[in-house]
Structure 1
Amino acid sequence: MVAVDNLTVSYRQHPALHHISGQFVAGALTAVMGPNGSGKSTLLKSIMGLLKPAGGQVRTDTPRARIAYLPQMTEIDRSFPLQVRDCVLLGAWGSVGVMGGISRSLQARADAAIHTVGLAGFERRAVGSLSSGQFQRVLFARLLLQDAQLILLDEPFNAMDARTTAALLDLIHQWKAEGRTVIAVLHDDAQVHAHFDQTVLLARELVAWGPTAQVLTEPNVQRARALAEAWDDTADICHNDEVLA
């Protein structure tokens, strides 16, 4: 479904990802892990097409309309005066479009999605009045309405309480049972071991990629930390044409 071929992504000509190659398993739950600043979010944005590679490429056989992307919550403006149901209905934007109307069946689907994430009765609440956990549930309900085949989640459980995390993990397992592919940036080793089949371990360059039990070994984790500490963001800009072309 998604293949990464010698991918390099740079910010101000300093690599955030450096010659990454691998293939995501279709229908699997894959965690993307690594130290802070290791390029995890950059990888998801590259798959989504939000960043232009400095080298290499990302190939996917999934149409853009069937790809869902949930960024980190800190990147989402919650101040816009929007009700929960309207926020969830934005998940149908790809199929309804600018001129399309909101049918009763679509509203029913939105309400069903809100019920699925445990927020029945919140349909007319302003999203700005919700807690972080409640708002994340709303965003997952929006993903349900989008009906994507490939789902990209950037730190979906960050600052979430245990109850919300468990509910959203149940939903992710439901997506897997439906044959959908989920790629998520995560930080909790135990959570990844318990729920995710595959893991990509990054430290700007690739440390390991494959079944979680084989990737999240102590030697690999130590190597990722060492590589992350070795990167020098104050070094001279690299002008290697092979990397930056």
Structure 2
Amino acid sequence: MNTLRPRDAAIGFDNLTLGYDRHPAVHHVSGRIAPGSLVAIVGPNGAGKSTLLKGIMGTLKPLTGRIVLDNLDQREIAYLPQLAEIDRSFPLSVYDFVAMGLWRRCGLFRGFGRGDHTRISEALAAVGLEGFERRAIGTLSGGQMQRTLFARLLLQDASVILLDEPFNAIDTKTTADLLDLVAHWHAEKRTVVAVLHDLDTVRHAFPETILLARETVAWGPTRDVVTPENLAAARRMVEAFDRTAPLCARDAA
């Protein structure tokens, strides 16, 4: 199924500040996510982790600074939102929901050919959802829905994959199966960036970590970033942060 050609697609942050209604949610972030990286973003609640992903996706524009996509088209980025953000009341079957992953390649109004149907079936099989094709997404468990979202990502065949809390509130078996897919993407030299809360998963499966607390606390090899000292500093920084604060003086300038 993989049609990806390796490319030097990197994501850079240049003194980046993102926020809402001119109030910063994450600020003064600088650094570079190298091509083919497997990176976890961690931090306390309210640290700006999901905000950073939305900035990379382009759905949230920088207040100051910039995001640099080197050799990367925005359409080559696939995004898995949090489960809570998915409207499962819409009457879609698992098959039709997964098939949406082909829209970038096929367009909204072109019918699927035999090869497309084969790819959809292969994606469902890859996440263990054979036999679920006609099930309505509203009837799925949390773990089954997350498998469905991963199947859609497989069809997107993207160079960069952003995952927002992909293993939150799902069973251990589903987590293990989906982590195998993440490892497979990494082996294919795709860039995978995931917001995570489970630090054991981070230590076990993600070689690089960004620790946020509205700004960068630490960024580098996971063993050096996820330390008791850094985690304590991140908690203190988030607790002290004024959510109503305006842009700081150097941003406003």
Fold agreement, TM-score > 0.5: yes
Aligned to 1:133: 143
CA distance in 2, matches of 1:83, 1:224: 42
How far apart are 1:234 and its partner, in Å?
Answer: 4.3
Q: Are 1:45 and 2:82 an aligned pair? A: no
Q: Are 1:121 and 2:131 an aligned pair? A: yes
How far apart are 1:89 and its partner, in Å?
Answer: 0.6
How far apart are 1:226 and its partner, in Å?
Answer: 0.9
Aligned to 1:243: 251
Match of 2:98, SS state, is helix
Structure 1 gap segments, 5+ residues each: none
How far apart are 1:99 and its partner, in Å?
Answer: 2.7
CA distance in 1, matches of 2:247, 2:186: 41
Taking structure 1 as reference, are residues 239 and 18 closer, same or farther at Cα in structure 2, changes over 3 Å only?
closer
Counterpart amino acid of 1:150? Answer: V
CA distance in 1, matches of 2:113, 2:160: 26
Q: Are 1:4 and 2:13 an aligned pair? A: yes
Q: Are 1:229 and 2:223 an aligned pair? A: no
CA distance in 2, matches of 1:74, 1:64: 24
How far apart are 1:25 and its partner, in Å?
Answer: 2.4
Equivalent residue in structure 1 for 2:77, among 34, 48, 67: 67
Matches within 5 A, 1:170-185: 170-185=180-195
Match of 1:159, SS state, is coil
- Report the number of matched residues: 243
Mapped contact 1:8–1:19 kept (Cα < 8 A)? yes
CA distance in 2, matches of 1:205, 1:125: 42
Counterpart amino acid of 1:152? Answer: L
TM-score, normalising length: structure 1: 0.96
Moved over 2 A (4+): 237-240
TM-score, normalising length: structure 2: 0.93
Structure 2 gap segments, 5+ residues each: 1-9
How far apart are 1:244 and its partner, in Å?
Answer: 4.3
Mapped contact 2:26–2:47 kept (Cα < 8 A)? yes
CA distance in 2, matches of 1:20, 1:220: 17
Counterpart amino acid of 1:104? Answer: R
Match of 2:75, SS state, is helix
Matches within 5 A, 1:158-177: 158-177=168-187
CA distance in 2, matches of 1:106, 1:39: 37
Mapped contact 2:14–2:30 kept (Cα < 8 A)? yes
CA distance in 2, matches of 1:108, 1:12: 45
Taking structure 1 as reference, are residues 244 and 68 closer, same or farther at Cα in structure 2, changes over 3 Å only?
farther
Counterpart amino acid of 1:50? Answer: T
How far apart are 1:158 and its partner, in Å?
Answer: 0.7
CA distance in 2, matches of 1:106, 1:31: 32
Mapped contact 1:13–1:244 kept (Cα < 8 A)? no
How far apart are 1:239 and its partner, in Å?
Answer: 6.3
CA distance in 2, matches of 1:206, 1:65: 27
The alignment-based identity, stated in percent, is: 56
CA distance in 1, matches of 2:73, 2:21: 30
Counterpart amino acid of 2:47? Answer: S
CA distance in 1, matches of 2:247, 2:128: 50
